Amino acid sequence: MPPTISPIPGEADILSEGQSSTARDDLFPPELVDMFLGYAVDDKDLPTLKAASLVCRSWWALSCPYIFRRVVVISESSLEGLAGFLEPDQGAHRYISTLAIHPRPTEPFGPAHWVDDVPAKLAAMGPRLRVLELVQLNEHDTHLGAGFVRGLAGFAAVDSLTLHECSMTPPLLRALLSAPPALRTVTVRSLITTQVGTGAVLPCLRSPALRSLEVRPTAGYTSSAENILPWIATTATAQSLRALRLTVRISESVGVGQFVLAVGERLEELELELEPFLDLPLETAGESLVAQDTLDTGLTKLQ
């Protein structure tokens, strides 16, 4: 009987000890069971998925790829639980394709130094992990260092990185985007770049060669594009980028226009959403209109 599995409370909290040893495994063809499980996944119905995994051994086996394909590490205890769960004899690590690191301190702005240990303790996931998500990661709280960056380089199959509501210095941002060797897709949803970091020396291990870049700042996280695009234009991404999706503030138009001029001829997909920042009058000032002309020039070049 499969062991009790509870690596991440609230995410993959699956208890298999309650599986019935007398349940018939052949009542439904596996194709029908898999279709049923797929509906539960599409509806994000984790309770149904959990219940289905307890029906019998064959349903458990069919449920595992859905249950464990995305795991979330929220605390040091969940990290230790997942690391212990990924022992060679468990086998569930082969189903995990997405790892989300989402520090949730017990008190506001509390330290989360354990995040620095994630790549080393979850190195067993390296060969199969495809997607890495960093959620509400604050550089000052986590004290990320060179070991974290070099550890990410061990996730050799990761081709997609998402940053959501994170706060970090430009050196850390560049180091993260330079670490996974197979990285091709980057999505930035709400990022604050600060100028004062932890003082750690962070290596840029390689020049990223992205094929897709999406940057979506919000009112509270407004510095994403202006701190990413100029640097990206100096990397191998300037030659490899094929898809660009941006939400652009009018005052950032000059930087976006220059970036489009640099990479535009190679783009196959371009999506720009222009929006004002808090509807401030400054957004319609003369210098902002001049900046928008730069963006217009870059778009004209694509025609």
291 pLDDT above the threshold of 80: no
Token pair, residue 33, equals 């069971």
- Comparing 166 with 302, the larger pLDDT belongs to 166
Considering the entire predicted model, what is its pTM?
A: 0.78
Q: Which of 67, 92, 113 is the last residue of a domain?
A: 67
For 145-183, b/e burial (b = at least 16 CB within 10 A) is beebbbbbbbbeebbbbbbbbbbbbbbbbbbbbbbbbeb
Quick one: 133 and 179 in the same domain? yes
Q: Is residue 8 part of a domain?
A: yes
> What is the pLDDT confidence band of residue 20, given thresholds at 50, 70 and 90?
very low
Whole-number Cα distances in Å, 107 to 101, 104, 110, 112, 165: 18, 8, 5, 11, 18
Q: Which of 67, 91, 119 is the last residue of a domain?
A: 67
CB 242 within 8 A of CB 269: yes
> What is the pLDDT confidence band of residue 151, given thresholds at 50, 70 and 90?
very high
In 3-state terms, what secondary structure has residue 235?
coil
157 pLDDT above the threshold of 80: yes
Quick one: 62 and 97 in the same domain? no
- Comparing 14 with 115, the larger pLDDT belongs to 115
Residue 219: its pLDDT value, please? Answer: 61
pLDDT digits (tens, 9 = 90+) for 245-255: 988 777 677 77
pLDDT digits (tens, 9 = 90+) for 183-210: 999 999 888 877 765 667 788 889 999 9
> What is the pLDDT confidence band of residue 106, given thresholds at 50, 70 and 90?
low
Quick one: 45 and 90 in the same domain? no
Which CATH number goes with the domain that contains 265? 3.80.10
Q: Which of 67, 95, 116 is the last residue of a domain?
A: 67
Quick one: 49 and 87 in the same domain? no
Quick one: 234 and 125 in the same domain? yes
Q: Is residue 133 part of a domain?
A: yes
Residue 35: its pLDDT value, please? Answer: 83
Secondary element (H or E) of residue 274 = strand 269-275
Q: Is residue 197 part of a domain?
A: no
Residue 222: its pLDDT value, please? Answer: 57
133 pLDDT above the threshold of 90: yes
pLDDT digits (tens, 9 = 90+) for 45-98: 778 877 887 888 888 888 888 878 888 999 989 899 888 877 765 667 778 889
Q: Alpha helix (H) ranges present in the chain? A: 30-42, 46-53, 57-67, 76-85, 118-121, 139-142, 146-152, 170-178, 224-232, 237-240, 253-263, 286-302
Quick one: 245 and 180 in the same domain? yes
pLDDT, mean over the chain: 77
Candidates 208, 250, 205, 264; CA nearest to 231 is: 208
Quick one: 90 and 118 in the same domain? yes
Q: Is residue 175 part of a domain?
A: yes
d(CA 41, CA 69): 11
- The answer to which of 182-186, 212-216, 278-282 has the lowest mean pLDDT is 278-282
Quick one: 29 and 123 in the same domain? no
Range of the domain at 54: 1-67
Residue 123: its pLDDT value, please? Answer: 85
Residue 17: its pLDDT value, please? Answer: 40
Q: Is 197 left (phi over 0), alpha (psi -120 to 50) or beta?
A: beta
Q: Is residue 129 part of a domain?
A: yes
Quick one: 140 and 263 in the same domain? yes
Q: Is residue 115 part of a domain?
A: yes
Quick one: 261 and 153 in the same domain? yes
159 pLDDT above the threshold of 90: yes
- Comparing 172 with 253, the larger pLDDT belongs to 172
CB atoms within 10 A of CB 259: 23
| Percent share of the chain, pLDDT over 70 | 72
Q: Is residue 101 part of a domain?
A: yes
Residue 140: its pLDDT value, please? Answer: 80
Maximum mean pLDDT: which of 17-26, 156-165, 212-221: 156-165
Candidates 241, 251, 247; CA nearest to 286 is: 251
108 pLDDT above the threshold of 60: no
18 pLDDT above the threshold of 70: no
Overall average pLDDT of the 130-140 stretch: 91
Token pair, residue 216, equals 């979506």
pLDDT digits (tens, 9 = 90+) for 262-271: 887 888 998 8
Overall average pLDDT of the 97-117 stretch: 79
218 pLDDT above the threshold of 70: no
d(CA 147, CA 135): 19
Quick one: 6 and 87 in the same domain? no
Number of domains in the chain: 2
Q: How many CA atoms lie within 13 A of 191 on its CB side?
A: 24
Quick one: 110 and 186 in the same domain? yes
d(CA 141, CA 75): 13
Q: Is residue 231 part of a domain?
A: yes
Candidates 184, 193, 211; CA nearest to 138 is: 193
Residue 274: its pLDDT value, please? Answer: 74
CB 210 within 8 A of CB 232: yes
